[in-house]
Structure 1
């Protein structure tokens, strides 16, 4: 399996690439800076230079063409301003979808955030927070409107603790933390289950083994 990861140098992207490499899949990790190459190579992935904020859909289509799936795991980061919440968390996600459509790559996994689809999610906590919520909402809505085999994963509070291999995965869950390592493992399991296309799923730590959790949401649809 060949998978193109947007946000390939991010914490989830690196973990996902490592898991794919361990089972001898081919991960192509999009990176902006040459100094990121070594980290990507170290986890067994192939670094591909591409700037999600300045590159074009045509250029990106040339990279993703022939892939089995694309994964959007990019983010502007906690220290970025409101403008980059839009250019990365929304516009870059749409750019990857445009490229996937042009290249004929149907499978698209989106890493979103828990709660952004809920009307009760608090706003008014500052310009950057409101921009982040809006960007995630709009990115998810855009993807749902496309003729792609998309799955949206909405993790809870991300941690760098070791993964447990057990999660709660459902259309809606209570807020809670989840290790990035487990998020990456869920993404791999979703790649193996094409029947999870067109599902939007909250993800937090829980009791079910990851493969079982993915199989259950597929069978319950």
Structure 2
């Protein structure tokens, strides 16, 4: 498979790129800064330098053409202000989804957040973030002609992955290692049977591959 990842230099994305490259997939990661390219190459991914905050739909679609699947894993980051929550966490996600449709990519997996909700109330930065993610998710959920899956992890940790998770429509809050988020994403891009599902993810007791197959069968 050829898989293109938006936010290719993120902590989850770099883990995912290593997993996909190791199993023989062709991986490309979209990054904003040219100096990030070497890190992607070391992870086994082809770097694609493109700023999703200023790119057009057609420019993004051009980078997506020929891909079997796409993953949106970009984010403004914890140090960013409210404006970039709107331009990256919402705007770039919408742009990427539109570009995937235009490019004929059949499969899209979006990394969202536990608690994402377009109607989330509050004025703190994290509240703005949850609204932005929720609005982006709602947009993707309304798209036609695209097999999308939205993944909403709990609190991300840098603990070593266990390969054991809880993946359901509603899990309740909890932590999850970034390693295990990447492992779930690697399974999801291959499993179109999870298309149309919005899933929550926390640490649990079910092996990743079994968890994905189980939720796909429900």
Q: Compute the TM-score of the two structures, normalised by the length of structure 1.
A: 0.95
The CA RMSD over aligned residues, in Å, is: 1.2
Give the superposition deviation at 1:117: 3.8
Which consecutive unaligned segments of at least 5 residues does structure 2 have? none
Give the superposition deviation at 1:89: 0.3
Offset from partner CA, 1:47-70 (integer Å, 9 cap, x none)? 001101011110011100010011
Give the superposition deviation at 1:138: 0.2
> Separation in 2 of the partners of 1:203 and 1:166?
11
Q: Work out which of the residue numbers 166, 178, 183 in structure 1 matches 2:164.
A: 166
Aligned length: 217
Give the structure 2 partner of residue 109 of structure 1.
109
Give the structure 1 partner of residue 152 of structure 2.
154
Offset from partner CA, 1:77-126 (integer Å, 9 cap, x none)? 0000000001000000011011111111121000001122497x6x43x4
Corresponding residue SS for 1:168: strand
> Separation in 2 of the partners of 1:102 and 1:25?
23
> Separation in 1 of the partners of 2:116 and 2:32?
27
Corresponding residue SS for 1:71: strand
Matched, 1:11 2:11: yes
Give the structure 1 partner of residue 91 of structure 2.
91
Give the structure 1 partner of residue 67 of structure 2.
67
Q: Work out which of the residue numbers 128, 138, 141 in structure 1 matches 2:138.
A: 141
Give the structure 2 partner of residue 28 of structure 1.
28
Offset from partner CA, 1:137-165 (integer Å, 9 cap, x none)? 10000000001100000000001111100
After TM superposition, which residue ranges in structure 1, 4 or more long, deviate above 2 angstroms? none
Residues 17 and 83 (structure 1), Cα distance of their counterparts in 2 relative to 1, 3 Å cut: same
